[in-house]
Structure 1
């Protein structure tokens, strides 16, 4: 199944001008050999890695290929040669899609109706986040067995620093990474792409060069040459809006930035100008931070029909707040930043945020903050999506200290924790608040 995906999506090879090649590494059997053959003399595989700096590099970025869709195909082999889209219903968006679907132009975050216009024969599957999280956790634990320096970026990608692990694994970082992705593919049934480089920025770029099942290396010697032809949007932190600003200023490629003085870039763009100067030349001093983890926890839903009334939106917001609260409690974290997300019928997204005095993991406080923001935004517009999120995350022990000014806050906290205990013992539907129940009733009514 994984090989079929690779054959269906075979991007043009990326040519990297390197200094003279070193011993080749076979990605399929791990053999190292000196010969300049185009195939491994042990297993005959053409999937080789050659690079003069291969045995000197230790910063990696691992990114699972079309993660959600790959899991669905693994669990249902009948989907192996079919275009698969994981996402919401007709009014939702694409969470991810397999590489076969990408041939038709389907992309993540694309409205579902546009995705189905591009690929009408696609199999659409509703996301199963709990299943994906289990697989992601299994892969993450395997990463941590390689090195304690693992910095997660999302459920399916992370930076790794394998400096000093050669004695532990009796292999170079490149050999260790090659074995890791083989084992993940064999044992878990998910393929991943690897980028190996002298720093995080170049490693992230490298992992995108040859997907799926890629293993790309960008060394220090050729970094500037590789970067020169890339669009400025490939630089970490340069979003669409800033990319457009750079293009209006006549800067379209990273190579153009390389010719500019850092002082001039700083004068034009402030602190981000200094970052552009460094990254455009392949310089990145950020270390791999194992404690980084998630930046926020959120939940959202897309409606079957647009909603404009506050009374209808409130119970949905309460239900989402409970989901976010449950995830925070399960993960042992809390947060003080509350963000409300709304998307109008014409796909315009609005976000509103506020900061709490103390971090929380309680649904009651998350909902109260979100409701206050929602009350301001419900002005007759029709919404197709609502979401709530918690950011500025901290350890759970800092959550919800006693409020001396609000004596009822402690009672509400204890009541919510009591409900949590009942739900843990008897199931999620054992206790339902009026607002949460109203949201479920409304959802059932839409389905009938």
Structure 2
């Protein structure tokens, strides 16, 4: 009886894995073996502890220290390195709790522009592999490498391993790869072997792998959905497979039928190269609640300026401005106003947001403020000539001059006068992811 060897290779040198725990060519223990390794082409790539990894890359003194990227004591953890995670720190954890768990951690305020730049470099490397790249966030994406073997001379699994090596060598950060027959399983796989991971979930093993996993592992199943499913005695993925598809649809609608399919390891969603951006926003959480309208306006300006920069970078303008406020008891208030024409100008975004803020800043205290632009249009549609606003061309030219200076000398070279108004003390604040 002939036993076929399980396909495998070394993730460091791409040599055949052979037998044994180490690569015969380079002695690396980083081998990947799987019966379906050479036939799978859907991947999920996720940068490891992305913000913290970029900060450690740029400051080698932080290499062996726990690092938390986030805001002040009233903010939350944006990202933390794996050393901090050993101490129990997690993303989205309140900062005071994170520092209680890991008091020796180095806390760094996020520098979003730097992370965006590195994220774009990673995205460009992904595009070298396949045009079918679907971004999920700044540091992760789905890829479909079907039919790329002729182009790269390698099966998708080896192409992805070579890509991971390239990211580490050229950008100084690491990624984890999940390879599977569909997006759902690929996303799960990418979390199995972090950091610097490469995990595979094949079609043949999918149902067995999922059986005893909690239903919360399924996309779209948050705390509320888990509670609803628990009322039907569904707490594990395997419980879903015990139900008839029609019964699942009757109880939980179209979403229930989708979950039933996922529980069987089926996911027909394609990797879509473009993901529609619906809004661009920025928000910040204060260390101390603020009621002073002047202070709130000063912070609002900095957020409007940031949103404007992001709109320009993404080549968007928008016609709907939304103000977001959160009270000390965590109640959210959102107020919106539509503009007659799209804008990408910080001044117009701020003025609209300020008008909305005036009606809310009536002595109430707030722990968070944010502003966003929706109903997006191409950048070229923004701020068309307006006979009723003869000063518009001058303001456009002024913002362009400021943008040019910032690109040349750094983002902090110029700020608007409101930020330095008498009596206005800008609070420490958490920048969002």
TM-score (norm 2): 0.88
Distance 1:188 1:201 in 2: 28
Query: Any residues of structure 2 matched to 1:225-374 within 5 Å, and which?
Result: 225-292=208-275, 294-346=277-329, 348=330, 350=332, 352=334, 354=336, 356=338, 359-374=342-357
Could you tell me whether the CA contact under 8 Å between 1:423 and 1:429 is conserved in 2? Answer: no
SS at match of 1:110: coil
Could you tell me whether the CA contact under 8 Å between 1:334 and 1:393 is conserved in 2? Answer: yes
Distance 1:349 1:165 in 2: 50
Distance 1:204 1:233 in 2: 14
Q: Which moved more, 1:62-71 or 1:309-318?
A: 309-318
- Deviation for aligned residue 1:132: 1.6
Distance 1:150 1:199 in 2: 14
Encode CA deviations 1:278-311: one digit per residue, 9 max, x unaligned: 2222222221122216443222223232102334
Return closer, same or farther for 1:200/1:70 CA change in 2, 3 Å cut-off. same
Encode CA deviations 1:217-268: one digit per residue, 9 max, x unaligned: 1111111221222111111122222223222332211111122223222222
Asked if residue 137 in structure 1 is aligned to residue 137 in structure 2, the reply is no
Could you tell me whether the CA contact under 8 Å between 1:65 and 1:193 is conserved in 2? Answer: yes
Counterpart of 2:393? 414
Counterpart of 1:174? 157
Counterpart of 1:221? 204
Q: Which moved more, 1:189-198 or 1:275-284?
A: 275-284
Pick aligned residue for 2:108 from 120, 125, 132: 125
Choose between structure 1 and 2 for higher RCO, CA contacts under 8 A separated by at least 6 residues. Answer: 2
Q: How many corresponding residue pairs?
A: 422
Unaligned runs of 5+ in 1: 1-19
- Aligned-residue Cα RMSD (Å) equals 2.8
- Deviation for aligned residue 1:154: 1.3
SS at match of 1:442: coil
Could you tell me whether the CA contact under 8 Å between 1:73 and 1:80 is conserved in 2? Answer: yes
Asked if residue 91 in structure 1 is aligned to residue 74 in structure 2, the reply is yes
Q: Which moved more, 1:266-275 or 1:90-99?
A: 266-275
Could you tell me whether the CA contact under 8 Å between 1:232 and 1:254 is conserved in 2? Answer: yes
TM-score (norm 1): 0.86
- Deviation for aligned residue 1:147: 1.0
Distance 1:113 1:388 in 2: 25
Q: Which moved more, 1:329-338 or 1:193-202?
A: 329-338
Could you tell me whether the CA contact under 8 Å between 2:294 and 2:424 is conserved in 1? Answer: no
Return closer, same or farther for 1:163/1:411 CA change in 2, 3 Å cut-off. farther
Counterpart of 1:22? 6
Could you tell me whether the CA contact under 8 Å between 2:10 and 2:23 is conserved in 1? Answer: yes
Return closer, same or farther for 1:235/1:400 CA change in 2, 3 Å cut-off. farther
